[in-house]
A and B are shown apart, each in its own frame.
Chain A
Amino acid sequence: MTCVTRAIAPWLALATTLACAAPIAGEPLEPEKAFPVTATLAPGGIDLGFTIADGYYLYGDRFRVDVVPPGLPLGRIRIPRGEAKDDPFLGKTEILRHRALLHLPFTAKAPPGTYALRVTAQGCAEDRVCYSPFTQVVRVSVPPTP
């Protein structure tokens, strides 16, 4: 029995590797599960952290953030460098995989309060489907400064 196991083990390992390398099948994930985002108050602004599921990616130039209620003095969103992708129609673009930390800088002192950030992004499941722009709402609290 041990002999049989020992003989088949390498084949099983190889087969498992092949199976893992195959594209992910089944229904695509909900956008909130494929690209969940969190908001954290950071020095000088707000960090938006995306966790991107394996086999999925976000377009680096397709983010938008709206704040409710308005009043947070936010500058231009800073997006990390991504993986270059040469798209036959879109040309050179950048995509983000696995984890992406975006930063929204404050341009002035932020008034204290709790804010809802409506974060819109766009991405795809590699070679399968692309998501039309989807919005997630995250909250962040700015404490009063002493």
Chain B
Amino acid sequence: MSARLFFAGVGVLALLAGTALWVGTRSIEPPGATVPADANPAALYTASFSDLQGQSRALGQFQGKVVVLNFWATWCAPCREEMPGFVKLQERWKDRNVQFVGIANDEREKVRRFGDELRINYPLWTGGPEVMDLSRRLGNRLGVLPHTVILDSGGRVVDSRVGVYREGPLEERLGALTAKRS
């Protein structure tokens, strides 16, 4: 009897601990992440930012590719946590029509230093308050970072997620997207 109760206790513990672990580690997905009315491909492709040399850049240069657009900041610890995974994915997916881009409302010099330290292998662009305006319009209701948006090759928003986007789930998403194309 007591052995049965012991195992029942272990079972309850395992169930609750497992639930706690699952709840605590899953990605934060904004319920029904909204795609704004003005987030049409043309508007996204013409939004202008600055690269680390101060040159004006727009997402339109990646038209025809799947674009992983990551809103981040140098002061945002969770952003820095996910970026090494993006570096690996950019390397693995560079020949499969996938382009990562990081956009920050931050000082260019800080962003440059950060990019060097973490050996970021995709473009890091900067902008002013319009960066967070765009992020909000792409479903980031609370204006939090990190925020990652995936655009398909036609510039349509197919994913919008706040919180750390881990390498595994993101790679799965890219696989599904690129498989759909072929």
- A residues adjacent to B (C-beta < 8 A): 3-4, 7-8, 10-12, 14-16, 18-19, 21-28, 30-31, 59, 87-90, 122, 124-125, 127-132, 134
Given A14-B13, A18-B16, A19-B16, is A130 in contact with B73 using a C-beta cutoff of 8 Å?
yes
Given A89-B117, A130-B78, A130-B145, is A8 in contact with B24 using a C-beta cutoff of 8 Å?
no
Whether A19 lies near B31 (C-beta < 8 A) is no
Give residues 137-152 of B contacting A (CB, 8 Å): 142-146
- Most chain-A CB neighbours within 10 Å: which of B30, B73, B74, B75? B75
Whether B16 lies near A128 (C-beta < 8 A) is no
Whether A25 lies near B26 (C-beta < 8 A) is yes
Task: With CB as the reference atom, state the residue of chain B lying closest to A9.
Answer: B9
- B residues adjacent to A (C-beta < 8 A): 1-2, 5-6, 8-10, 12-13, 15-17, 19-21, 23-26, 28, 30-31, 73-81, 105, 114, 117, 132, 142-146, 162-164
- Which A residues lie within 8 Å of B6 (CB)? 7
User: How many angstroms from the CA of A31 to the CA of B28 in the assembled complex?
Assistant: 16
CB distance from B110 to the nearest CB of A (A): 8
Whether A25 lies near B23 (C-beta < 8 A) is yes
- Which B residues lie within 8 Å of A25 (CB)? 23-24, 26, 28
User: How many angstroms from the CA of A129 to the CA of B82 in the assembled complex?
Assistant: 11
User: How many angstroms from the CA of A30 to the CA of B144 in the assembled complex?
Assistant: 10
CB distance from B53 to the nearest CB of A (A): 22
Q: Which 4 A-B pairs have the closest CB atoms?
A: A22-B24, A15-B16, A11-B9, A7-B5
